[in-house]
Amino acid sequence: MTTRADLFEKRKQEHIERGYPVEDQRPIPVNSFCSFVAGRELSASDRLGDLVAEALNGNHDAHGDR
């Protein structure tokens, strides 16, 4: 996530509140922007649920075509 330096802490906190772990923070502004990486890995059971939902909804597209 790249954000203006004045919004860095606010954006970071929003992601944390939504359950995304924040990693690789770059709080020192470069050209007035700061950044961080926020992401969440799906567990195997979450991914399995996604696959079941796709099958039930008739989504048979190849995974690479998304």
CA neighbor of 25 nearest in space, from 50, 58, 2, 54? 2
Amino acid of residue 57: N
Spans in the chain with pLDDT lower than 50:
66
Cα atoms in the 13 Å half-sphere on the side-chain side of 2: 5
Report in angstroms the alpha-carbon separations of 9 from 18, 31, 44.
14, 17, 31
